Structure 1
Amino acid sequence: MATLLHIDTFLNGEHSHSRAATAAFRRTWESEHPGGKVIYRDLDTDPVPHLQAGAYYAGFVDPAAQSPAERAAFALRARPIEEAEAADVILLGAPMYNYAIPSSLKAWIDHAFAVGRTAHTEQRTLAGKRAVVVTSRGGSYREGTPQHGNDHVQNYLGLALGEGLGMEVDFIVPELTMAPAVPEMAELIPLFERSREEALATAERQAKDLAMRLAA
């Protein structure tokens, strides 16, 4: 049976648009693939520590040769890496914070980016896995908008997860999420509502397609 690794990061709990879309994906996945397994991480309530030198350099030492200190340091990285390796699909909630990803997600990526294991080797252990990324943003960064070119979420994650780790990356992008809360954006509320509905429908469709494909 297939395994889904579901990672959320948004700070805003039940009001999060990225969490709404990842929840829709997961519900559909579980409905279509009831015998599958879900590993869940909430990096808001249970963050991984930022990568430090001891944990980084311990990754270059053969596990059989690691000192007790190196084993303890690398244990901080082992769980995120092993969870990703065990997954068939990785679902990431990656809202835009100040033009980029949340620092909690960057910390997770730094742990998962293990040279000689998941990255910078011909046999990358995450290569070929599907990553579905839900990246919500308060405005719009599409071509033709004033903010076009200032999105450092999709570009970065496409590079890190795709080029770096070898995964196949799909993006779901609910945008204009600040429209209901900012009076100056009131005229954009219909576009926000359309974007939200499209994101939820896309999440459900992709979950169904992936669950059926992996269960076949």
Structure 2
Amino acid sequence: MTLLRIDASIQGPRSASSALADLVVAEFSAARPEETVVARHLGQKPLPSEAWALAIAGSFTPEDERTPEQREALELATTLAAELRDADAAVLALPLYNFGVSQHVKVWVDLVLAGAGPGARLLEGTPVVLLTTRGGAYGPGTPREGWDHSTAYLQRILADVWGADLTVIEREFTLVGVNPALDEFTALADQMKQAAEDAATQAGKTLGAR
């Protein structure tokens, strides 16, 4: 069994989303120490932003007429799609940035789509845990309600386009303790953190028991 882990945080060791992914993977590996974990960190090693356009252009170019750059981009796109297709389970730590997915995640999604081909259900029935974090609060009644343009998009791609058996774990107010303007929400933020950690731990146990 192969577990694919994708991270996209730019926060390094301070990453809230990666911390949740660590919990999932730790529980999975404790239950299945012999299994392989394939990791790709889009934030630490970003994919080249120009690769998507090159892959698309290359796909419409006869093979013997493709440029070296188009060949390289298509090979990368195929590799990324294969990582998802070959995974028996996946853990995706993809935080909200500037009200949407980061450029790193968007390039990854676009390249996977280019490498998979039209209509490919790369994750059909595959258990996938999506861990998404937000610095503020975006729920009903908050000033930022409706400003999260990341979570619904990721659900569409992962579940509706790629067919994943999706579990979504969300944590808000990760900037409490960092931004003094949010200090009044400390107790609520602590509750949200604990709830997300409990959910991540359970998700890891569930993956390990499959």
Same fold? TM cut 0.5: yes
Equivalent in the alignment of 2:135: 138
SS in 2 for 1:39: strand
Q: Which amino acid aligns with 1:104?
A: H
**Could you tell me how far 1:136 is from its partner in structure 2?**
0.6
Alpha-carbon distance in structure 2 between the residues aligned to 1:202 and 1:125: 25
Matches within 5 A, 1:1-216: 2-50=1-49, 51-59=51-59, 66-67=63-64, 69=67, 70-114=70-114, 117=116, 119-121=118-120, 124-213=121-210
**Could you tell me how far 1:151 is from its partner in structure 2?**
0.9
**Could you tell me how far 1:118 is from its partner in structure 2?**
5.6
- TM-score normalised by structure 1 residue count: 0.87
SS in 2 for 1:52: helix
The verdict on how the C-alpha distance between 1:119 and 1:91 changes in structure 2, with shifts beyond 3 A counting, is farther
- TM-score normalised by structure 2 residue count: 0.90
Alpha-carbon distance in structure 1 between the residues aligned to 2:33 and 2:57: 40
The verdict on how the C-alpha distance between 1:209 and 1:43 changes in structure 2, with shifts beyond 3 A counting, is same
* Cα pair 2:52 2:107 within 8 Å, conserved: no
Alpha-carbon distance in structure 1 between the residues aligned to 2:14 and 2:54: 37
Q: Which amino acid aligns with 1:141?
A: Y
Figure out how many residues of one structure are paired with residues of the other and give that number: 206
Alpha-carbon distance in structure 2 between the residues aligned to 1:199 and 1:190: 14
Deviates more, 1:87-96 or 1:124-133: 124-133
Q: Which amino acid aligns with 1:136?
A: T
Q: Which runs of 5+ in 1 are unaligned?
A: none
The verdict on how the C-alpha distance between 1:71 and 1:183 changes in structure 2, with shifts beyond 3 A counting, is closer
Q: Which runs of 5+ in 2 are unaligned?
A: none
Tell me the percent identity. Answer: 30
The verdict on how the C-alpha distance between 1:8 and 1:73 changes in structure 2, with shifts beyond 3 A counting, is closer
**Could you tell me how far 1:89 is from its partner in structure 2?**
1.4
